[in-house]
Amino acid sequence: MIYTVERANLISEQLRKFTDSYAHMVAGQFANIDFWIDEVINSVRAIDEHSMRFEKMCEAQIKWIEEKEVRVPNYCHICNGICELSEQHYKKPELPKNRSKGEKKESRKKLVDSTYYFLIRCFKIGLLNEEELKIYCNKIGISVDLYDLKK
């Protein structure tokens, strides 16, 4: 799993735990709400910019491979070593494969959802008023479901 997705999943899980914790524990985490919102914003941005960073990394690897004429041994599945039966004992290294968009999309949705439900929990126990809830939701790029405003 890629770092960006792992990080988003870790933050999501933390926020999910806060959502169904005792109110006094939620109040304790709410004391650091700006930290958590910043974590979410940074993680969402990292997911959104992942493809751009991946392309940049690949371009740098291609340039290095070409400039240095890098070759790696051709692996033999029979002897578990350098393949002596192939015409080419050494070949250009394979470039990394970009992860599926689905994995990043799912991780992003889970992160935003868990943040939203944490914020709703904070609202329902009186740590946030409606205006503050909307401000925090706006920071992470989501709106508030009016149904969730009922206490």
Rounded average pLDDT over 131-141: 97
Give per-residue pLDDT as tens, 2-45: 899 999 999 999 999 999 999 999 999 999 999 999 999 999 99
Q: How far apart are CA 82 and CA 69, in angstroms?
A: 19
Give per-residue pLDDT as tens, 67-82: 988 877 777 777 777 6
Question: What local confidence, expressed as pLDDT, does residue 151 receive?
Answer: 65
pTM over 0.75: yes
Classify each residue of 24-61 as buried b or exposed e, where b means 16 or more C-beta atoms within 10 Å of its C-beta: eebeebbeebeebbebbeebbebbeebeeebeeeeeee
Rounded average pLDDT over 52-60: 94
Residue boundaries of the structural domains of the chain: 3-66+97-149
Question: What local confidence, expressed as pLDDT, does residue 79 receive?
Answer: 72
Question: What local confidence, expressed as pLDDT, does residue 77 receive?
Answer: 72
